[in-house]
Structure 1
Amino acid sequence: MSTPKRPADIYMRFLQLAEALRGLPSLPALDPLEERILAIVARAGQAEERLSVRDMMAKKDLGSPATLHTRLISMREKGWIMLSDTEDTRRKQIELTQAALLHFDKLSKCLIQATKLS
């Protein structure tokens, strides 16, 4: 890889490497809304914040509650998220699956590789 001429080159290289991950057999692909939801779940987990299904469905900028509910079901079936019980059995906590965490590990490696200069 050649030396980046500008900072945007590093980001473009990261996008290229991340796109290559999509071709690998792992978890089924996500649509753009599901990717946004995944990022929200990941950030909440990183910040050690609780994120329930109700909390997610209250995020008006992501669409209607029915749309979000459908996407959460889809993401669960695809293996990206899991729902765990809380002290209130009516509320479910949204968490990343081990497979989703491994995906983020791979993306992190892509970011590190993109920043390396050769």
Structure 2
Amino acid sequence: MGKNKRPADIYLRFLQLAEALRGLPALPSLDPLEDRILAFIARAGQEQQRLSVRDLMAQSEFGSPAMLHTRLKSMREKGWIVLADTEDPRRKQVELSQAAWLHFDKLSKCLVQATRDK
């Protein structure tokens, strides 16, 4: 890190690089609640935890079951998540789509680039 570079400079550089990603053709943007749901799903996937729609509905931070279903449908239509079958046909497992994992990979590269000196 350069001698006059503050930690905040790294974060602001990351935001600038991440914002540039939004200008590239990619997945449609998410609203703030969808973004929080996506982060929750991503953390579960990273920890290799199976996450069902019912598991998400148990999280009161995401609002009512009806609101959650609406958001999951929207996120699925936008290409961020997929609903996979389980051994119980009434239960669906929620996972990030391949495109969502690629998006996180790109954000990770932005973070690494932001920490480098110019």
Q: Normalization by structure 2: what TM-score?
A: 0.94
**Per the alignment, in what secondary structure is the counterpart of residue 87 of structure 1?**
coil
- The residue that corresponds to 2:24 in the other structure is 24
Q: How many residues align?
A: 117
- The residue that corresponds to 2:104 in the other structure is 104
Distance 1:65 1:19 in 2: 32
Distance 1:19 1:67 in 2: 28
- For the aligned residue pairs, the C-alpha RMSD in angstroms reads 1.3
Counterpart code for 1:18: A
**Per the alignment, in what secondary structure is the counterpart of residue 93 of structure 1?**
strand
The Cα shift of 1:114 comes to 0.3
Unaligned runs of 5+ in 2: none
1:57-72, aligned counterparts within 5 Å? 57-72=57-72
- 2:107 equivalent to 1:93: no
Distance 2:5 2:102 in 1: 31
- The residue that corresponds to 1:34 in the other structure is 34
Runs of 4+ in 1 over 4 A off after TM superposition: none
The Cα shift of 1:5 comes to 2.1
Distance 1:74 1:48 in 2: 24
1:35-50, aligned counterparts within 5 Å? 35-50=35-50
Cα deviations across residues 10-53 of structure 1 (Å, max 9, x unaligned)? 11111111111111111111111111111111100000001100
